[in-house]
């Protein structure tokens, strides 16, 4: 007998190699299949933890109907939210490895066996992922617009620097319910951030590859539901939240990245090449990457402008920018007048038919920027309606 993290004595025979965590909310029609797919794994050394987040449907009745000694289930008395519920489960986990399964997804029988084999053989890895099938509510592979995600998740293996570069230019490409991770990575990285509703997994993958290599099993071992009702489904509200969360993610994107990893991943994109990568030059390159190259330019530029403002008080930073990058504080002033939140808000205001303001029509936004402008236009129209009623 020995104490677990919560001071409760656990018999060694009760401690399993893998803890499978299933956060549940309002998925009564799916969760039975999810649980069955775990219990049908050809790997047997696991515990299954299920937490229902005060679902308004009969999810708890479905969960309670399972009678298997490997299951530990929790009924939340107050709604924790999707990330809070997941963090709760990770904190309860007793296994060496932690695997996540969404309550509307399924695993194929050999998933855990293959992943445990990889992590046991390669102790340097922080986590192992797999490819996934995109399926409909009947478990059939989809072929409509949502099927593009199948290709997104079919990734090769990369070094840590290469992963950071891919995430930066392309965005998320790892299937969350395919993960098997060492429990100690959460001691090193912290948990998922509950303030991020759209992108908590993307934020975690960035933090993960900064510290640990990962491995992709290039086989479809997960059936991932895409029915248009997922948290990632396209809607004006989700799109706006994505942009807001990306500003925060980009703002800390290069924090805690070793110089070696940063150079390995991004040297080919540097503005100034063929010179020693000093600390100040690396800082400048990070700022210009955010300014020019993030996969959602509006959010990347907002993060870049904030970073520039913080660093301009450093005389050496300003000198290197001026002398080596030919970029002065006056260039920065022009930039803050032609991009960032203020610029997009004015552009939205102009295109909604309001009074004339300074013309920046030559600053043509990219496709993601145009979507941002459309969202801001809706906000401006709504504000104008409210003002008229006052």
One DSSP character per residue, 196-233 reads -SS-HHHHHHHHHHHH--EEEEEEEEEEEE-SS-STTS
The pLDDT score that the predictor gives to residue 151 is 84
- Evaluate the CA torsion angle 98, 99, 104, 106 in order and state its sign: negative
User: Which pLDDT value is given to residue 358?
Assistant: 38
| Residue in the block written with tokens 């799109």 | 239
For CATH 3.90.550.10, list the domain ranges present in the chain: 2-233
Read off the pTM.
Answer: 0.83
Tens-digit pLDDT profile for the chain (390 aa)? 334 544 444 454 568 999 999 999 999 999 999 999 999 999 999 999 999 999 999 999 999 999 999 999 999 999 999 999 999 999 999 999 999 999 999 999 999 999 999 999 999 999 999 999 998 877 777 765 555 666 899 999 999 999 999 999 999 999 999 999 999 999 999 999 999 999 999 999 999 999 999 999 999 999 998 765 555 566 788 888 999 999 999 999 999 999 999 999 999 999 999 999 999 999 999 999 999 988 888 889 999 999 999 999 999 999 999 999 999 999 999 988 877 667 667 766 676 654 433 333 333 334 444 454 555 555 555 545 544 454
Q: Is 241 exposed, middle or buried (0-12, 13-18, 19+ CB in 10 A)?
A: middle
Quick one: tokens of 143? 């072929």
CATH code for residues 2-233: 3.90.550.10
The β-bridge relationship of strands 97-100 and 180-182 is antiparallel
């Amino acid at each position: 007998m020995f104490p677990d993290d919560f001071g409760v004595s656990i018999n060694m025979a009760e401690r399993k190699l893998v803890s499978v965590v299933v956060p549940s909310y309002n998925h009564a029609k799916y969760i039975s299949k999810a649980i069955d797919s775990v219990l049908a794994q050809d790997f047997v050394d696991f515990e299954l933890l299920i937490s229902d987040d005060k679902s308004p449907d009969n999810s708890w009745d479905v969960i309670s109907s399972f009678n298997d000694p490997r299951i530990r289930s929790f009924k939340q008395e107050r709604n924790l939210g999707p990330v809070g519920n997941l963090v709760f489960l990770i904190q309860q986990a007793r296994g060496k490895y932690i695997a996540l399964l969404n309550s509307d997804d399924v695993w194929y029988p050999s998933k855990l066996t293959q992943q445990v084999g990889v992590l046991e053989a390669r102790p340097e890895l922080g986590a192992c992922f797999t490819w996934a099938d995109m399926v409909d509510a009947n478990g059939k592979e989809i072929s409509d617009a949502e099927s593009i995600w199948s290709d997104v998740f079919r990734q090769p293996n990369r070094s840590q620097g290469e992963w950071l570069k891919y995430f930066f230019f392309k965005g998320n490409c790892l299937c969350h319910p395919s993960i098997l991770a060492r429990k100690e990575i959460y001691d090193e990285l912290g948990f998922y951030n509950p303030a991020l509703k759209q992108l908590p997994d993307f934020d975690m993958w960035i933090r993960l590859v900064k510290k640990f290599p990962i491995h992709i099993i290039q086989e479809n071992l997960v059936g991932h539901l895409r029915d248009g009702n997922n948290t990632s489904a396209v809607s004006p509200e989700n799109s706006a939240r994505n942009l807001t969360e990306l500003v925060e993610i980009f703002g800390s994107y290069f924090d805690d990245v070793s110089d070696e990893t940063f150079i390995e991943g991004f040297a080919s994109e540097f503005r100034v090449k063929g010179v020693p990568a000093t600390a100040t030059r690396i800082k400048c390159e990070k700022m210009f990457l955010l300014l020019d190259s993030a996969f959602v330019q509006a959010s990347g530029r907002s993060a870049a402008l904030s970073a520039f403002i913080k660093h301009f008080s450093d005389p050496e930073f300003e000198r290197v920018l001026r002398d080596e990058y030919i970029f002065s504080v006056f260039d920065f002033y022009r930039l803050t007048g032609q991009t960032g939140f203020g610029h997009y808000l004015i552009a939205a205001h102009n295109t909604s038919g309001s009074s004339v303001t300074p013309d920046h029509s030559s600053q043509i936004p990219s496709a993601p920027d145009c979507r941002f402008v459309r969202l801001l236009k809706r906000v401006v129209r709504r504000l104008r309606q409210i003002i008229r009623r006052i």
